[in-house]
Structure 1
Amino acid sequence: MHVLCGIDEAGRGPLAGAVYAAAVILNPSRPIKGLADSKKLSEAKRDSLAIEIKSHALAWGIASASAKEIDTINILQASMLAMQRAYQAMADQFGLHATLIQVDGNRTPKFHLPCEAIVQGDSLVAEISAASILAKTARDASLLELDAQYPQYGFAQHKGYPTALHLERLEKYGVTPEHRRSYAPVKKLISIMIE
């Protein structure tokens, strides 16, 4: 039996927080309407689809790689690690394995089964769209937790991306343990503080 698992990540660009990934095996007998690249959906639509995916899919898993891991092994490798963890979380939770994995983008993590990269896969493959929605909603939820921990940074608004507001708050309040020190704006700020 052919079992396709879609995998995608969210949060490569932000200056703070973990990078998230999700793995999804959809149920052909329970199709989900409205799946699309998570970036093209409203927050409300993503949230409602995430609930549907979790209840309708045959299997799903979500995992992350921390800001510290991103700084240690770089964002590309951390994204790959989060994807491997998401697949493993899905397999552990549901006891289900794919016969083929499709990953959004042009590179794939190492898996012990066939895996292919699909450029713009989050718009082309329903399983990858579903994974992109789960990864994005999980990452956004984690940024709301960061917002509660560090209210002065405005994480709820900018979700860690390098917006004018975020850069201004970074300059004013300094670097948190959740900031990615290997990213240029953060690195620059740390070097100024050291001087």
Structure 2
Amino acid sequence: MEPTVSTVSIPPVWQYPRFGFGQRTERGQIIGLKYYAEDTYLADEYGAGWRYILLPNKNTEDDETRIEDDIKLLSPQELKTALETEINTCLRQIQMLKHELNAVGVSVVATNYTVEETTQQPQEPPLPSLHGLVDAGKFILKVIAKHPEYLALNYQPDLTIGDAETALSYLELELEPNQSPALDIAD
């Protein structure tokens, strides 16, 4: 079944929104927009302009509304890391589902977004690069450090998120191919 394509038209007297549906921001994905037009009660009460409805966590129904100036899109690197993390999560879920199918005597191979039955053993997806995992770890630590629930904890462990970020930075340096070998001073 083909998806229906619809057009959204914005009245010419309204300013055009800076962001669109589905874009990922530092506070979540944009799932809705609403406009408070000039000379209306809502604009007088809260200010005219666009409001964006964000879904911080796709596993809850809680959303939040933010004004345009409060929206900051993810950087290209942050977006890449977030998408790779989501892809890896989906690949792990696929592997778990394949394992369940194997447990009942059916094996599958996923190719080009279709699933075909086969008698061959499914291949494990390739492991993501260590650089990619380090980037994903750094991104996740940044999100945790900004998360309102984390900030509300008043959590003060011996090892902090900053320590974890530093450890990942050191690991990242070790992975750089053009690093000169460490000098052996003990000679």
Fold similarity call, TM over 0.5 = no
Name which structure has the greater RCO, CA cutoff 8 Å, separation 6+.
Answer: 1
The structure with the greater share of residues assigned to helix is: 1
- TM-score, length basis structure 1: 0.23
